[in-house]
């Protein structure tokens, strides 16, 4: 690990969960398009994306000036794109920027600089930019834009207020809008000695604790005590917070394994079997405001789901559950208030995550029996998640995993290869990957990795490895550049895309390849015995219909020249 000073850029889509709920497929397609815009601007301005999570982007810049210039370019470009949509379907980013001391670990950045940038993003207006005072000092005389001083702002999990500025964004007519000034933190009255505030707060807290203790004691005298801890089933008469068994999911780029032995809640479906004529039911979708269902809780183990069903769900007092996408979880029941329960659940979850060096922050998932998780259910591919096909399977070798960088491959060699069965790797179209090991069932291993990977990628990921075997075709004749979706392919003629997608969906065994010519007419090689046979068949069919044919997809992957 090394420390450095960097300009940290944090961006997030306003109202993303609502957009997904209204039209998931259209939102994901536009997200991919908008992310291409943001990624291009970040690269042109000398930035580097070091983390993504669904609709969120974290990037570093060597210069605050370049970070702000990049943010302005992004917002103006996306504002133009949004003009094609009604206001309810517009996809607008909030952006926060600060300069801070950060720690670099395996390509990821951690520290207060990252946290403050994320909080500034939350202060920004929809389609706006919020910067810290340190950034303002660097850019105020170097960029021809206006700023609005919004003063010191109290933000979550940052002990001292952050002095912030809004960047005035240009309107369609070329003028600049005046940002809506947030209410600054009020200073303490000059005549009040500093020691009086902690003393007053202490007295209030002591009074509240006394009242809460009396009410709790009275309640316990008239009702039976229930167990409230996963670690111990001994009845207790005081409010407690419970932690889950250690999770085993591991993210990219800082993937790690912590084997667990989750219990099965029900017989797992046979993911290795061929698809049945009637497709299996997908996992239930859940969003903020829904009723809490233990079996729908994402990221966590089956054993944790069982514990939530038996320990958390029946508890009737103030309670809360917190989790992160690595599967760490903490919950708190029998608390004197919901705020106390939320704080205890978050602290317990974060403590477990920090102890395991998980880079992901814990978030509230449920308060009482109501889901409050803002990100919704992570996107998952259709079932079955794993197909076993002897024609495409081959022994696992880390060097053959597509789309990964060398540090990611090193982590797989060090952590995945020696891991216990069952273990899987989920891969996303942008090189996102999650893996785990020591899981009791293939179903759970695949589910947890796909949920975590989908939450980061923002689109469904694919299980590419089970134990010691690749379970999808891994191209060797051409270089993998991403995932392939016929319906979204811009090089296939529009009238041909649906038919290509249909034929691919029916070709569930063997090797598939797609070639396309200058006029966008495709040629398909389906259900071939090997990669070369599929490629030759696709090219042969294409040249009968078009000219200048080239292969654009092999198996589930988009491909290009080596």
SS (H, E, C) 151-174: EEECCCCCCCCEEEEEECCECCCC
State how far the Cα of 492 lies from the Cα of 494, in Å rounded to an integer.
6
The number of distinct structural domains making up the chain is 3
State how far the Cα of 380 lies from the Cα of 447, in Å rounded to an integer.
9
pLDDT of the residue at 181: 53
- Given a cut of 90, is residue 164 above it in pLDDT? yes
Is 453 part of any domain? yes
Q: What is the DSSP letter of 250?
A: B
pLDDT of the residue at 288: 64
Q: Which of 195-204, 403-412, 445-454, 462-471 has the lowest mean pLDDT?
A: 195-204
- Given a cut of 80, is residue 273 above it in pLDDT? no
- DSSP string over 454-506: HHHHSS--EEEEETTEE-S---SSSEEEEE--GGG-SSS-HHHHHHHHHHHHH
- DSSP string over 14-57: TTHHHHHHH-HHHHHHHHHHHHHHHHHHHHHTT-EEEEEETTEE
State how far the Cα of 433 lies from the Cα of 430, in Å rounded to an integer.
9
Is 519 part of any domain? yes
Banded model confidence at residue 155, pLDDT cuts 50, 70, 90: confident
Q: What is the CATH number of the domain that holds 36?
A: 3.30.70.1230
Edge-to-edge, what's the strand order for the sheet holding 363-367?
A: 240-243, 329-335, 318-323, 363-367, 370-371
pLDDT of the residue at 388: 93
Among the candidates 118, 140, 167, a domain finishes at 167
Q: Please name which of 542, 512, 517, 544 lies closest in space to residue 528, comparing C-alpha atoms.
A: 512
- Given a cut of 90, is residue 442 above it in pLDDT? yes
- Given a cut of 90, is residue 389 above it in pLDDT? yes
Together in a domain, 485 and 411: no
Contact present, 496 and 519 (Cβ < 8 Å): no
Is 210 part of any domain? no
pLDDT of the residue at 347: 93
Strand partners, 245: none
State how far the Cα of 68 lies from the Cα of 10, in Å rounded to an integer.
11
Contact present, 338 and 368 (Cβ < 8 Å): yes
Domain region containing 60: 2-167
Banded model confidence at residue 104, pLDDT cuts 50, 70, 90: confident
Residue 340 tokens read as 């106390």
Is 114 part of any domain? yes
Together in a domain, 349 and 388: yes
pLDDT of the residue at 285: 56
pLDDT of the residue at 144: 76
Q: Peptide bond preceding 422: is omega within 30 degrees of 0, i.e. cis?
A: yes
Q: Please name which of 253, 246, 359 lies closest in space to residue 304, comparing C-alpha atoms.
A: 246
- Given a cut of 90, is residue 1 above it in pLDDT? no
Together in a domain, 343 and 394: yes
Place of tokens 């970040």: 42
Biggest CA-to-CA distance, the chain: 89
Contact present, 288 and 373 (Cβ < 8 Å): yes
Together in a domain, 315 and 406: yes
* Residue 4, CA distances (Å) to 1, 112, 453 in order: 10, 12, 28
Contact present, 48 and 153 (Cβ < 8 Å): no
Calculate mean pLDDT across residues 167-180.
60
Together in a domain, 143 and 286: no
pLDDT of the residue at 179: 58
Among the candidates 434, 450, 472, a domain finishes at 472
State how far the Cα of 80 lies from the Cα of 307, in Å rounded to an integer.
49
Among the candidates 167, 197, 212, a domain finishes at 167
Together in a domain, 236 and 320: yes
Is 275 part of any domain? yes
Phi and psi at residue 4, to the nearest 5°: -160, 165
Calculate mean pLDDT across residues 92-113.
89
Is 185 part of any domain? no
Is 184 part of any domain? no
Together in a domain, 239 and 383: yes
Q: Please name which of 557, 456, 484 lies closest in space to residue 49, comparing C-alpha atoms.
A: 456
Together in a domain, 439 and 484: no
Average per-residue pLDDT in the chain? 81
Together in a domain, 523 and 445: no
Residue 14 tokens read as 């306003």
Together in a domain, 275 and 424: yes
**Which tens digit of pLDDT belongs to each residue from 248-266?**
334 433 333 333 333 333 3
Banded model confidence at residue 211, pLDDT cuts 50, 70, 90: very low
State how far the Cα of 423 lies from the Cα of 475, in Å rounded to an integer.
22
Banded model confidence at residue 170, pLDDT cuts 50, 70, 90: low
Contact present, 47 and 70 (Cβ < 8 Å): yes
Edge-to-edge, what's the strand order for the sheet holding 394-395?
A: 394-395, 469-470, 462-466, 424-427, 433-436
Collapsing DSSP states into helix, strand and coil, what is residue 338? helix
Is 181 part of any domain? no
Together in a domain, 495 and 456: no
Together in a domain, 411 and 396: yes
State how far the Cα of 344 lies from the Cα of 240, in Å rounded to an integer.
9
Calculate mean pLDDT across residues 20-45.
88
């Amino acid at each position: 690990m090394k420390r450095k000073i960097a300009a940290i850029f944090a961006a997030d889509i306003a109202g993303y969960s609502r957009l997904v709920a209204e039209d998931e497929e259209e939102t994901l397609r536009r997200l991919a398009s908008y992310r291409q815009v943001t990624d291009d601007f970040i690269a042109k301005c000398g930035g580097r994306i070091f983390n993504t999570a669904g609709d969120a982007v974290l990037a570093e810049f060597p210069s605050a000036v370049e970070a702000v210039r990049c943010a302005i370019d992004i917002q103006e470009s996306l504002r133009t794109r949004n003009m094609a949509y009604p206001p309810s379907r517009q996809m607008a980013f909030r952006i926060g920027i600060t300069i801070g001391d950060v720690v670099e670990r395996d390509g990821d950045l951690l520290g207060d600089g990252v946290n403050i940038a994320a909080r500034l993003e939350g202060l920004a207006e929809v389609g706006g930019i919020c910067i810290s005072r340190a950034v303002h000092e660097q850019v105020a005389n170097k960029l021809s834009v206006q700023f609005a001083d919004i003063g010191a702002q109290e933000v979550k999990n940052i002990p001292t207020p952050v002095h912030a500025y809004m960047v005035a964004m240009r309107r369609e007519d070329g003028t600049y809008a005046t940002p809506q000034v947030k209410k600054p933190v009020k200073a303490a009255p000059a005549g009040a000695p500093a020691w009086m505030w902690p003393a007053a707060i202490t007295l209030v807290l002591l009074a509240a604790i006394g009242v809460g203790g009396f009410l709790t004691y009275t309640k316990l005298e008239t009702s039976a005590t229930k167990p409230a801890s996963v670690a111990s089933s001994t009845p207790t008469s005081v409010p407690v917070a419970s932690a889950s068994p250690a999770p085993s999911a591991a993210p990219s780029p800082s993937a790690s394994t912590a084997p667990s032995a989750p219990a099965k809640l029900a017989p797992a479906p046979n993911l290795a079997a061929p698809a049945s004529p009637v497709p299996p039911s997908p996992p239930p979708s859940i969003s903020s405001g829904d009723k809490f269902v233990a079996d729908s809780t994402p990221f966590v183990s089956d054993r944790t789901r069982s514990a939530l069903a038996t320990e958390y769900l029946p508890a009737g007092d103030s309670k809360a559950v917190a989790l992160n996408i690595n599967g760490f979880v903490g919950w708190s029941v029998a608390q004197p208030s919901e705020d106390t329960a939320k704080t205890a659940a978050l602290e317990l979850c974060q403590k477990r995550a920090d102890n395991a060096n998980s880079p992901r922050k814990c978030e509230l998932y449920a308060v009482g029996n109501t889901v409050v998780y803002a990100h919704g259910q992570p996107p998952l591919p259709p079932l079955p998640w794993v197909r076993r096909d002897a024609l495409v399977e081959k022994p696992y070798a880390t060097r053959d995993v597509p789309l990964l960088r060398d540090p990611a491959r090193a982590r797989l060699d060090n952590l995945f290869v020696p891991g216990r069965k069952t273990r899987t790797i989920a891969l996303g179209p942008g090189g996102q990957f999650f893996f785990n090991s020591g899981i009791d069932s293939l179903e759970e291993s695949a589910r947890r990795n796909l949920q975590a990977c989908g939450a980061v990628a923002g689109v469904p990921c694919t299980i590419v490895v089970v134990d010691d075997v690749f379970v999808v075709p891994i191209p060797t004749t051409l270089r993998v550049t991403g995932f392939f979706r016929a319906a979204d392919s811009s090089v296939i003629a529009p009238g041909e895309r649906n038919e290509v997608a249909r034929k691919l969906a029916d070709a569930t065994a063997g090797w598939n390849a797609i070639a396309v010519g200058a006029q966008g007419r495709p040629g398909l090689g389906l259900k071939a015995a090997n990669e070369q046979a599929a490629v030759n068949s696709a090219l042969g069919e294409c040249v009968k219909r078009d000219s200048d044919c080239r292969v654009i997809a092999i198996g589930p992957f988009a491909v290009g020249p080596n």
